[in-house]
């Protein structure tokens, strides 16, 4: 086969593969969207219509139910706050892990990761008691603090791998030219690390957005969306489960869409 | 082209603003009145019952609408979360919940030290005509009353009308025996090629209650004292399981599989069958549970209202309890969410067809000649979960894993006996009264 | 190389800095710098987790009389559900992780390829499942797999099946495994993909071009150039995914109910349902131990000597 047609075949395969993968991702999303916007009768029917008549009955009721919209707002606030706090605390640690070989580095890695290896449900009562005693229970602020603790291991490790992928020589060069480490990092490394740091930030946001167990333990009257929707997901009928699932999904999709440019700035990468 | 080195300002601003907003508080519900204030604050009503979205909205907009005061009704996702929350608040010494709603079993789990003694309130409400059995339960094995009866329910069966064509000859759906039930399941399987019977054997399913209040008492006339003689009951279960939908181990609420017609015949709590009856009353029938050699065993379910120790608005909570105990509210409760009143008086006439179906089935079950009421476990303290586990494990081993019935019963009897000794719980109906802990026969 | 605590200020001979600042520099700079940088994170996590974890962990080994005991561990191991839970958990791990890595790497490479038109769109689509929580994923895939669900609906409408098949049949561990694997791979491959993409961006294009120039085919380029350079990213992704894999349980419950169980689900049940905090803590301890062991194994296997990183 000629080189040209081989290359063309490769491109076709590439596109076909990409499209197939995209369908694999999109079909379940479509299913839950269709299910959330089906009438209750359609939800229980069989065979279920693959393209249902759109009915906003369930969604309207759900959104109008007490507490759902405020919960949505709180989730947004908590997620962004967690993002800010986790990045601020986690990035320096990630940098240290990437650049320095210091005693206890591996222990540090293992121990921060192990905080996530403990199922949080076991800690339900002790955590709640601590939060109540400190007066930060049932508040967005308290939940931000908790979510930051949950997201921090990820933030640290992802930023560490981001910095590890940027050659040290850049900082060294900058420092030889008169910068101290801090300005070397700020001027040279940080801009290159931005896409990766944005990825870490998005992770953190999503972890906080989807977090349900700590949220349901630590809040009662000021719930975030997952905690508010949890009852619907465990006790309400199928139509409400779908509506709840969709509601959990949709805002996160929007945020990832908005932020995608900073995640995936593939074209502008400065190659060494 | 270099990556843009300056993040747009808004990208940095949002998280910062959010952090500030969170820190300075965007929360709506702050403290609702200092402890000790009377009658002024909003009543925080935390309940394991009526938690699903539709029911909760009905509570807020209809049932409690006539109450003169603010109520914040919050549903708990399961009784574990409910107990955790109440316990944490008590241990931290900062209680925000004023009124609790839960099942008898939930209060047993919670324990009396978390509850306020409401004997005086119960005295005041004695005109309401609470059933003596309920008041006995509400004392949680002590001399004081710890919760006020709120609503009652039970477990019944519902079937798709299509299934009625396959009943065994001579069987009356309103007076089934367990034998006929098993035959019915087999008939459906033969006719349709599918297993269309369902049991709530899932994570949140109430199957343990089926064993504790229905199957075992119906076959043996007792529960704990006759546990080691219940071979027949478990063999029956193993038999019908062959014609039971395999996804039953995932069902928590039978109304969904009934509505989607994955299942045609099901046993479950009335609240978990209600949607099916409400949405398509012409497609379903509701009927009492089957009868075994020893009678038509059934278990009444009691929900109650209680006030946690240290509640900030205890007085408002009391007046809310009074309101809920009023005949009008009790009637509204039946109409809206299908739970039956606990106060004396006639049932309202203007209920929906679905609720009527339910009410009729419950009445038939309670008033059956061979009715055998089995009470809820009493005196188990926080070992309620362990108690249920004995039955679930027995079911898993005999029915799901296919182990030998006798062997399993011997081993599980030992476990049950140890549990009863440890908790010191005396026997309860239908077991005969005992001196000291209930012994496994 | 060692950090020096003072830097030569160009043309600054004779400039004296205040002594205080020098001392600050000496403390914050130098060999102590890394410790200062990680301190906030350590303190923060210690504050939130250390004490409750120690407390909860202690519950696993403390008996009623206050002394050390293995009773709770024994109860856990003797329980009806334990062997199945352990087996299913480990099976999930062993099956899901390789599949996810293969899929994620393929996605990442596809999206990184300049020949793919509309890369940005594809990248966004592949990242979508990131936004899906475990709960939502459980619901979605249950809606697809349940007997009266969307998969059977589609098959019926396409004329491919008369009687709806029971996909979630608890009598077949393989079927349950398949359902959970599909749901999990769908949901969390994006996590790995994003990490790999971030890492791929750090690989200078010149390397790949040089390799191509020297006649290396695409697969060889992947094996010899890309994978070694991706090691830091792979390490991070592997660790995350393994830890998270031990935590999965909402999806398992949503799809299988009591048909299959994993260690975390059992911990959850013992804690909230049976209300035996001791046995729940024993399960938690087991999960923690397995997670730590896995993490250490992964760290060892993916160790990247500093010299081997980019020049």
Which residues of A, range 214-253, sit inside 8 Å of B by Cβ? 216-217, 220-222, 230-232, 234-238, 240
A232-236, B15-19, B421-425, C300-304, range with the lowest pLDDT:
B15-19
Residue among B426, B391, B319, B420 at smallest CA distance from B40: B319
Residue count of chain A: 272
Extents of the domains making up chain C: 73-308
Interface residue ranges in chain C relative to chain B, Cβ cutoff 8 Å:
80-81, 146-148, 163, 166, 168-171, 253, 255-259, 271-276
Residue among C291, C266, C295, C288 at smallest CA distance from C56: C288
User: pLDDT per residue over A89-145, tens digit each?
Assistant: 999 999 998 888 888 888 888 888 888 888 887 888 888 888 999 889 899 999 999
Extents of the domains making up chain B: 43-153+301-353, 154-300+370-423
Residue among B359, B215, B332 at smallest CA distance from B274: B359
Which tops the pLDDT comparison, C5 or A22? A22
Question: CB distance B193–C163 less than 8 Å?
Answer: yes
User: pLDDT per residue over B316-364, tens digit each?
Assistant: 999 999 999 999 999 999 988 889 999 887 778 888 899 999 989 999 9
- C201: its two tokens: 């961006």
Q: Is C299 on the interface with A (CB under 8 A)?
A: yes
Are A146 and A82 contacting, i.e. CB atoms less than 8 angstroms apart? Answer: no
Residue-level pLDDT at C19: 60
Give percent of chain A with pLDDT exceeding 70. Answer: 95
User: pLDDT per residue over B281-308, tens digit each?
Assistant: 999 999 999 999 999 999 999 999 999 9
CATH 3.90.1580.10 fits B154-300+370-423, yes or no: no
Instruction: Go through the domains of chain A in sequence order and give each one's CATH number.
Output: 56-263 (1.10.3720.10)
Residue among B228, B190, C169, C172 at smallest CA distance from B182: B190
Mutate to test the interface with B, among A40, A57, A78, A132 (most CBs of B within 10 A): A132
Residue-level pLDDT at C311: 29
CATH of domain B43-153+301-353: 3.40.190.10
- What is the rounded average pLDDT of the residues A18-41? 92
Residue-level pLDDT at C26: 57
Residue among A84, A71, A87, A65 at smallest CA distance from A251: A71
Q: What is the ipTM of this complex?
A: 0.84
Q: Is A22 on the interface with C (CB under 8 A)?
A: yes
State in words which class domain C73-308 has. Answer: mainly alpha
Looking at mean pLDDT, say which of A223-237, B160-174, B374-388 comes out highest: B160-174
Q: In the Cβ-directed half-sphere of B397, how many Cα atoms lie within 13 Å?
A: 18
Are B98 and B311 contacting, i.e. CB atoms less than 8 angstroms apart? Answer: yes
Low-confidence ranges of chain C (pLDDT < 50): 1-14, 307-311
**Nearest chain B Cα distance for residue A1, angstroms:** 37
Which tops the pLDDT comparison, B258 or A194? B258
Query: pLDDT-derived band of residue A154, with 50, 70 and 90 as boundaries?
Result: confident
- Mean of the per-residue pLDDT values for chain A? 85
Residue-level pLDDT at B33: 37
Q: What Å distances lie between residue C249 and A113, A238, B312, C1, C261, CA to CA?
A: 19, 20, 37, 46, 8
Question: Which residues from chain B sit within 8 angstroms of residue C72, using beta carbons?
Answer: none
Looking at mean pLDDT, say which of A193-202, B180-189, C61-70, C135-144 comes out highest: B180-189
**Position A176 pLDDT exceeds 90:** no
Ramachandran region, residue C118 (left: φ > 0; alpha: ψ -120 to 50; beta: rest):
left
**Nearest chain A Cα distance for residue C133, angstroms:** 5
Question: Which residues from chain C sit within 8 angstroms of residue A242, using beta carbons?
Answer: 139, 143
Long-range contacts of C38-41 (CB under 8 A, 24+ apart): C38/A92, C38/A93, C38/A96, C38/A97, C38/A108, C40/A89, C40/A92, C40/A93, C41/A89, C41/A90, C41/A92, C41/A93, C41/A112, C41/A152, C41/A156
User: pLDDT per residue over A63-94, tens digit each?
Assistant: 888 888 899 899 999 999 999 999 999 999 99
Q: Is there a shared CATH topology between the B43-153+301-353 domain and the B154-300+370-423 domain?
A: yes
Question: Which residues from chain A sit within 8 angstroms of residue C152, using beta carbons?
Answer: 46-47
Count the Cβ atoms, other than its own, within 10 Å of residue A61: 17
Question: CB distance B262–C147 less than 8 Å?
Answer: yes
């Amino acid at each position: 086969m000629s080189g040209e047609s081989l290359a063309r075949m490769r491109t076709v395969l590439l596109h076909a593969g990409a499209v197939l993968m995209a369908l694999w991702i999109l079909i379940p999303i479509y299913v839950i969207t269709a299910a959330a916007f089906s009438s209750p009768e359609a939800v229980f029917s069989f065979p279920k219509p693959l393209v249902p008549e759109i009915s906003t009955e369930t969604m309207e009721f759900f959104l109008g139910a007490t507490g759902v919209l405020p919960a949505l707002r709180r989730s947004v606030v908590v997620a962004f706050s967690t993002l800010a706090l986790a990045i601020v605390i986690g990035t320096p640690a990630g940098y240290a892990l990437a650049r320095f070989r210091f005693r206890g580095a591996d222990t540090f890695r293992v121990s921060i990761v192990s905080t996530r290896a403990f199922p949080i449900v076991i800690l339900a009562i002790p955590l709640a008691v601590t939060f109540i005693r400190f007066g930060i229970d049932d508040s967005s602020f308290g939940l931000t603090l908790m979510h930051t603790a949950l997201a921090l291991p990820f933030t640290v490790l992802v930023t560490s791998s981001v910095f590890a992928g940027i050659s040290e020589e850049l900082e060294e060069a900058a420092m030889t030219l008169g910068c101290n480490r801090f300005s070397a990092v700020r001027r040279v490394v940080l801009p290159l690390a931005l896409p990766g740091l944005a990825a870490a930030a998005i992770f953190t946001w999503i972890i906080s957005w989807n977090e349900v167990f700590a949220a349901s333990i630590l809040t009662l009257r000021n719930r975030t969306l997952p905690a508010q929707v949890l009852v619907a997901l465990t006790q309400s009928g199928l139509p409400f489960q779908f509506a709840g699932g969709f509601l959990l999904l949709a805002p996160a999709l929007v945020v990832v869409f908005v932020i995608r440019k900073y995640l995936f700035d593939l074209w502008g990468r400065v190659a060494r | 082209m270099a990556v843009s080195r300056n993040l747009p300002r808004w990208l940095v601003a949002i998280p910062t603003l959010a952090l500030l907003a969170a820190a300075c508080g965007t929360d709506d519900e702050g403290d609702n009145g200092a402890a000790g204030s009377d009658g002024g604050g909003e009543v925080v009503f935390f309940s394991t019952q009526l938690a699903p979205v539709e029911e909760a909205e009905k509570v807020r907009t209809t049932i409690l609408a006539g109450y003169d005061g603010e109520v914040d009704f919050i549903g708990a996702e399961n009784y574990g979360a409910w107990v955790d929350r109440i316990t944490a608040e008590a241990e931290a010494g900062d209680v925000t919940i004023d009124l609790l709603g839960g099942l008898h079993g939930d209060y047993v789990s919670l324990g009396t030290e978390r509850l306020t003694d409401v004997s005086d309130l119960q005295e005041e409400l004695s005109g309401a005509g609470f059933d003596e059995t309920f008041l006995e339960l509400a004392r949680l094995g002590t001399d004081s009353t710890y919760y006020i009866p709120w609503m009652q329910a039970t477990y019944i069966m519902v079937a798709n009308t299509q299934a009625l064509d396959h009943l065994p000859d001579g069987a009356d759906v309103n007076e089934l025996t367990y034998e006929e039930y098993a035959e019915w399941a087999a008939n459906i399987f033969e006719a349709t090629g599918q297993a269309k019977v369902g049991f709530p054997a899932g994570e949140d399913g109430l199957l343990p209650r089926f064993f504790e209040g229905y199957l075992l008492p119906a076959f043996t006339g007792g529960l704990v004292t006759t546990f080691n003689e219940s071979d027949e009951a478990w063999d029956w279960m193993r038999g019908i399981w062959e014609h039971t939908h395999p996804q039953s181990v995932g069902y928590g609420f039978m109304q969904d599989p009934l509505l989607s017609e994955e299942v045609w015949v099901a046993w479950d709590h009335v609240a978990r069958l209600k949607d099916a009856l409400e949405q398509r009353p012409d497609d379903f029938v509701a009927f009492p549970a089957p009868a075994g050699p020893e009678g038509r065993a059934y278990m009444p379910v009691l929900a109650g209202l209680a006030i946690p120790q240290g509640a900030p608005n205890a007085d408002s909570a009391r007046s809310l309890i009074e309101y809920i105990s009023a005949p009008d509210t009790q009637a509204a409760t039946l109409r809206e969410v299908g739970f039956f009143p606990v106060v004396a008086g006639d049932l309202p006439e203007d209920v929906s067809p679905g609720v009527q179906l339910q009410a009729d089935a419950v009445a038939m079950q309670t008033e059956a000649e061979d009715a055998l009421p089995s009470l809820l476990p009493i005196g188990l303290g926080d070992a309620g979960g362990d108690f249920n586990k004995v039955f679930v494990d027995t079911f898993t081993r005999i029915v799901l894993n296919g182990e030998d019935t006798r062997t399993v019963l011997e081993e599980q009897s030992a476990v049950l006996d140890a549990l009863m000794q440890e908790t010191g719980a005396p026997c309860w109906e239908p077991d005969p009264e005992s001196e000291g802990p209930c012994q496994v026969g | 190389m060692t950090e020096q605590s003072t830097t030569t200020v160009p043309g600054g001979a004779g400039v004296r800095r205040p002594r205080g600042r020098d001392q600050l520099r000496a403390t914050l700079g130098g060999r102590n710098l890394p410790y200062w940088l990680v301190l906030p994170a350590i303190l923060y996590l210690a504050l939130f987790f250390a004490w409750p974890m120690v407390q909860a962990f202690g519950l696993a080994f403390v008996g009623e009389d206050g002394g050390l005991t293995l009773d709770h561990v024994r109860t856990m191991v003797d329980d009806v559900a334990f062997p199945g839970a352990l087996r299913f958990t480990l099976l999930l791990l062993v099956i899901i992780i390789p599949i996810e890595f293969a899929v994620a790497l393929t996605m990442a490479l596809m999206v990184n390829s300049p020949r793919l038109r509309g890369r940005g769109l594809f990248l966004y689509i592949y990242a979508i499942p990131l936004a899906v929580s475990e709960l939502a994923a459980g619901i979605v895939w249950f809606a697809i797999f349940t007997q009266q669900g969307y998969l059977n609906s589609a098959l019926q409408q396409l004329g491919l099946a008369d009687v709806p098949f029971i996909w979630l049949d608890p009598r077949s561990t393989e079927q349950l495994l398949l359902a959970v694997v599909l749901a999990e791979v769908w949901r969390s491959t994006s996590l790995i993909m994003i990490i790999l993409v971030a890492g791929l961006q750090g690989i200078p294009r010149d390397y790949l071009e040089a390799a191509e120039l020297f006649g290396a085919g695409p697969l060889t380029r992947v094996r010899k150039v890309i994978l070694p350079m991706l090691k830091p990213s792979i390490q991070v992704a592997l660790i995350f995914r393994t830890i998270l894999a031990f935590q999965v349980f909402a999806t398992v419950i949503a799809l299988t109910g009591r048909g299959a169980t994993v260690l975390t689900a059992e911990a959850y049940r013992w804690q909230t349902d049976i209300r035996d905090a001791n046995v729940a803590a024993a399960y938690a301890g087991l999960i923690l131990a397995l997670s730590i062991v896995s993490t250490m194994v992964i760290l060892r296997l993916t160790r990247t000597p500093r010299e081997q990183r980019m020049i």
